Amino acid sequence: MEILPQSAFALLRKQLSQWYRCARRPLPWRLVPGVYATVVSEIMAQQTRIATMLPYYENWMRRFPDFEALAAADEAEVLRHWEGLGYYSRARNLHRLSKAYVALAEKPRTSQEWESLPGIGPYTAAAIASIAFGHPSAVVDGNVVRVLARLMGEEREFASNGEAVKFFRPPADELLDRENPGAHNQAMMELGALLCLPKKPRCAECPVAAFCKSAGKPEAEALPRIVRRVVEKMEVNRVLHLENGAILLHRIAADAKRLAGQYELPEPKLLGLQPREKPLAVRTRSITHHRIVERIYRHDGPFPVKWTKQPGLALVPLEKLESLTLSGPHRRWLGEILGRTRQN
């Protein structure tokens, strides 16, 4: 896998590491590093922008400062701290991981050892082993795929993100700075996050532009070429019903595939209602390849069918909302809608 002439590798690594030392963001897991901080930050960052997960990270570390604290916590409280971040299996797996970790006499160190723990795949295992233990395992995430595709001028079309990750693993391994793998891996990702942007890359500021086949060219923006899934649109109606300082909520079944055990505003069909003309509020959210428009209708009663017969429906006093895990952005919605309703 010929990326560059051998003589160029050492200089590229040096340019990259010098840039990284100055340009790296002062992220909390860099300021207060450690094995636990690395694990939590890497799992929270999966498929999630750093800016999005940052407040969750701070809150999480206050409540669960180490593996022991997390292992001792209830799953309900763990999920409550993940509420709104999405991909909730990450939180369950991190909880399981902590319980397994504290029970281990020999703690995992290598990438291979970490990958046997729940929620740890190839990327996260390599990240933990390199950053927290200095082991020479190269990471390949979305940033690294983009940086390498442009560096190498790789124009082939990949059928999926996974295929691209597989393709760029050998060159990532070859390029890895084995003397300083943690900083090198983070530098590659930081380059993708700060300069080698998906659109309008800032090649003029790039420390490795001299080695890059796409630097300064308009073609850079088109790399990597990955076939993306079509976005599916969905529409959902929901009912807001308030009664004596309580709100009607639907608890999603514990064995449901998605959002198990979480609370949401009930859909009209659960209550035998038809959505009326004018929604109280309209909210849009998205997850992976879904884009969901949700219309929230106010209903003061009465109900055509006795809803108390429906499983999972319950009137929850507003002051008890704090301890429940609400689905996705529901807590934010309720804050907005109830705040407005109160004024009316």
Q: Which residues belong to the active site?
A: 42
Instruction: Please give the size of the binding site for DNA, defined by CB under 7 A.
Output: 67
On the 0-12 / 13-18 / 19+ scale of CB atoms within 10 A, 6 is: exposed
User: For residues 98 and 107, is the Cβ–Cβ distance under 8 A?
Assistant: no
| Shortest distance, position 251 Cβ to DNA, whole Å | 13
- Decide if residue 87 touches DNA (CB under 7 A): yes
User: For residues 337 and 279, is the Cβ–Cβ distance under 8 A?
Assistant: no
Which tokens go with 246? Answer: 């309580």
- Decide if residue 199 touches DNA (CB under 7 A): yes
Q: Which is nearer to DNA, 125 or 138 (CB)?
A: 125
On the 0-12 / 13-18 / 19+ scale of CB atoms within 10 A, 189 is: buried
- Decide if residue 48 touches DNA (CB under 7 A): yes
| Among positions 20, 56, 141, 154, the unique one binding DNA when judged by CB under 7 A | 141
Q: Which is nearer to DNA, 162 or 317 (CB)?
A: 162
Helix (H) or strand (E) holding 7: helix 6-23
How many whole angstroms separate alpha carbon 113 and alpha carbon 111? Answer: 5
| Shortest distance, position 269 Cβ to DNA, whole Å | 12
| Among positions 98, 111, 124, 237, the unique one binding DNA when judged by CB under 7 A | 124
- The residues facing 292 across adjacent strands are 234, 285
Q: Which is nearer to DNA, 5 or 218 (CB)?
A: 218
| Shortest distance, position 192 Cβ to DNA, whole Å | 6
User: For residues 216 and 209, is the Cβ–Cβ distance under 8 A?
Assistant: yes
Residues that bind DNA (CB under 7 A): 27, 41-42, 45-52, 84-89, 93, 118-125, 127, 141-143, 145-146, 159-163, 186, 189-190, 192-193, 198-199, 226, 228-229, 231, 233-234, 236, 257-259, 264, 285-292, 327-329, 332
